[in-house]
């Protein structure tokens, strides 16, 4: 896998959110013209992307904001955890409580509560940029 793409309405805010999670901005680009039009099956694409890389260099998120055509909201806008399709990304963290506190400063909200799975993990789900669910896992055992 090369990357996971997330369409956002606030590229700068999404970059700040994922930077707070420890990801690094690998690069940014503006995309327009026939190549993105043909690849996406849309006309008149004008978008900006930010490629975020995990600290180990093995995982990437491509954050995209569409200037044209306008992004289409998902229905429902903030899908529940049992919605079909891809809408959750999980990150391993060293300190779950600290990470939740820092991400709240970027607008994240807990969906439920912090839980413990056996003696192995502390886990939670947050609502992140563009309404996606960002799950966090802290290994404890």
Query: Does the structure show a pLDDT above 90 at 120?
Result: yes
pLDDT of residue 49: 97
CATH number of 88-139: 3.10.180.10
* 137 DSSP β-pair partners: 92, 123
Could you identify the residue written with the tokens 């839980």? 115
Contact between 53 and 96 (Cβ < 8 Å): no
Tell me the whole-structure pTM to 2 decimals: 0.92
How many of the other CB atoms lie within 10 Å of CB of 25?
A: 14
Q: How confident is the model at residue 87 (pLDDT cuts 50, 70, 90)?
A: confident
pLDDT band per the 50, 70, 90 thresholds, residue 83: confident
Domain coordinates of the chain in residue numbers? 4-68, 88-139
Contact 134, 125 (CB under 8 A): yes
Distances (CA, A) of 89 to 29, 35, 54, 122: 23, 28, 12, 16
Q: Do domains 4-68 and 88-139 have the same CATH topology?
A: yes
pLDDT-derived band at 141 (thresholds 50, 70, 90) equals confident
Both tokens of 50, joined, read 């930010």
10 pLDDT above the threshold of 80: yes
pLDDT computed for residue 42 by the predictor: 93
Architecture, CATH, for domain 4-68: Roll (3.10)
Beta-carbon contacts of 50 under 8 Å, excluding residues fewer than 6 positions away, are: 11, 14, 15, 25, 27, 28, 62, 63
CB 109 within 8 A of CB 67: no
């Amino acid at each position: 896998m090369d990357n996971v793409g997330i369409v956002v309405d606030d590229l700068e805010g999404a970059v700040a959110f994922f930077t707070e999670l420890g990801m690094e901005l690998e690069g940014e680009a503006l995309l327009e013209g026939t190549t993105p039009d043909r690849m996406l099956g849309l006309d008149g694409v004008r978008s900006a992307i930010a490629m975020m890389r995990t600290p180990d260099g093995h995982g990437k998120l491509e954050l995209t904001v569409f200037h044209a055509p306008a992004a289409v909201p998902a229905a429902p806008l903030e899908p529940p955890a049992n919605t079909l399709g891809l809408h959750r990304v999980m990150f391993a963290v060293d300190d779950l409580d600290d990470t939740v506190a820092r991400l709240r400063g970027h607008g994240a909200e807990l969906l439920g509560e912090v839980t413990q799975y056996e003696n192995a993990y502390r886990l939670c789900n947050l609502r992140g940029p563009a309404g996606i669910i960002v799950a966090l896992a802290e290994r404890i055992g």
